[in-house]
Amino acid sequence: IQWYPGHMNKARNQLEDKMNLIDVVVEVLDARIPIASRNPMIAELVGDKPHLIVLNKADLADPVMTKLWQKALMGPKTSVMAMDGKHNTNMQALIHLIKRAGQDKVQKLQEKGAATPTIRIALVGVPNCGKSTIINRLVGHNVAITGDKPGVTKGQSWLKTQHGIQILDTPGILWPKFDDQAVGYKLAAFGAIKDTIFHADDVALFVIAQMRQYYPAYLAKFANTSKEALENISDTDLLLAMTQNNGMRDDYDRFANFMLLRLRKGKLGRITLDRPNHDN
Ligand code: GDP
């Protein structure tokens, strides 16, 4: 599947050009899919800069898995934290970790006599992981973020905050050119790629199979059946049954979209589809 749009390449190149100005790279991941929402090129981009991984949308993710991921992703130059940008939890921790990651830079600036040293950061991550939400929180009010509009290249500048931190106003929208279909389904399931790239019923079937494996109780609840009954029905039959039970006759597509919407909003339960030391 070829779905890596040209403007994404452009965004990446712009970010590469700006990297020498950046002190700390803040990589925003969707806590529900920390691997699928990761860009394999991030290591190259970050180089040996301090690097902070934010597992955002932690309010929607499986808390047990989020704890495991926090440990699994930690590295010598990488700190990891979980937050919920929408409801503004853990913002103080985010600011603290950015400052800690940028402390060498601040020290250098102070040695050069800077009265108000600032740490310059860029936020990178796949679409819809919450970059703009977090930027707005850091800035303290809603700002127009140029990266939202593909093709807008000029006027790149620094957004100021009250915290001695400046943010590149073009968030790095990153995603991989993936070969692995499961990665694509996970990104589609949580809205990081356009709904038109896959058929909704294929994505829903993928989600059903994953939930059967990891969250059978949630699946049973959503399907309004028992865990035992689930064992005797195939994924496709279950999709059909759920479609009919919801009064959508044989309109798989409509039901699939309904189910994915519920999933994204956390209405099926707090679900994480990437597991540490498992299928990655
Ligand atoms: P961006 O494309 O990475 O800039 O993502 P946005 O900041 O536009 O966020 C995409 C959607 O996710 C918006 O509807 C946000 O309100 C929502 N959102 C962002 N962060 C969180 C979070 O931590 N929890 C929840 N529940 N929703 C979030």
Q: What per-residue confidence (pLDDT) applies to 43?
A: 86
119 touches 164 (CB < 8 A): yes
Query: From the CA of 127, how far away is ligand 1's center (Å)?
Result: 9
pLDDT in tens, 228-247: 999 999 999 999 999 999 99
What one-character DSSP code corresponds to residue 231?
Answer: T
Q: 216-244 as b/e, with b when 16 or more CB fall inside 10 Å?
A: eebbbebbebeeeebeeeebeebbbebbe
Query: From the CA of 85, how far away is ligand 1's center (Å)?
Result: 7
Pocket of ligand 1 (CB under 6 A): 56-57, 59-60, 84-86, 125, 127-133
Residue nearest atom 12 of ligand 1, based on CA coordinates: 130
Q: Are residues 159 and 80 in the same domain?
A: yes
Q: Are residues 167 and 208 in the same domain?
A: no
Q: What is the band of 7 on the pLDDT scale with cuts at 50, 70, 90?
A: low
User: Which of 263, 277, 180 lies closest to 215 in space, CA to CA?
Assistant: 263
Atom of ligand 1 nearest to the CA of 133: 7
Q: What are the helix (H) ranges across the chain?
A: 6-18, 42-46, 63-72, 91-101, 103-111, 131-139, 181-189, 200-214, 216-223, 227-230, 235-245, 252-264
What average pLDDT is seen over the chain?
Answer: 89
| Range 53-61 average pLDDT | 98
pLDDT in tens, 131-180: 999 999 999 988 877 554 444 445 568 999 999 999 998 777 766 556 78
CATH code of residue 139: 3.40.50.300
What residues pair up with 25 in beta bridges, in sequence order? 51, 122
Q: Are residues 80 and 203 in the same domain?
A: no
Q: Are residues 110 and 203 in the same domain?
A: no
Q: What is the band of 280 on the pLDDT scale with cuts at 50, 70, 90?
A: very low
Q: What per-residue confidence (pLDDT) applies to 175?
A: 64
Domain ranges, residue 212: 199-264
**pLDDT at residue 11 tops 80:** no
Q: Are residues 108 and 34 in the same domain?
A: yes
Q: Which of the listed residues 30, 90, 128 should we mutate to test ligand 1's pocket, taking the one with most ligand atoms within 8 A of CB? A: 128
Domain tally, the chain: 2
Would you tell me how many other CB atoms lie within 10 Å of the CB of residue 154? 6
Residue nearest atom 9 of ligand 1, based on CA coordinates: 130
> How are beta strands 165-168 and 158-160 bridged, if at all?
antiparallel
Query: From the CA of 84, how far away is ligand 1's center (Å)?
Result: 9
Residue nearest atom 24 of ligand 1, based on CA coordinates: 57
Q: What per-residue confidence (pLDDT) applies to 1?
A: 45
Residues 6+ apart with CB under 8 A from 278: none
Query: At 224, phi and psi to the nearest 5?
Result: 60, 45
Q: Are residues 153 and 244 in the same domain?
A: no
Query: From the CA of 129, how far away is ligand 1's center (Å)?
Result: 6
Q: What per-residue confidence (pLDDT) applies to 24?
A: 96
Q: Are residues 49 and 165 in the same domain?
A: yes
pLDDT in tens, 83-96: 999 999 999 999 99
Query: From the CA of 252, how far away is ligand 1's center (Å)?
Result: 27
User: Which of 119, 129, 121 lies closest to 174 in space, CA to CA?
Assistant: 129
Asked whether residue 48 is assigned to any structural domain, the reply reads: yes
Query: From the CA of 271, how far away is ligand 1's center (Å)?
Result: 16
Q: Which of the listed residues 59, 133, 142, 267 should we mutate to test ligand 1's pocket, taking the one with most ligand atoms within 8 A of CB? A: 133
Q: What per-residue confidence (pLDDT) applies to 41?
A: 79
31 touches 82 (CB < 8 A): yes
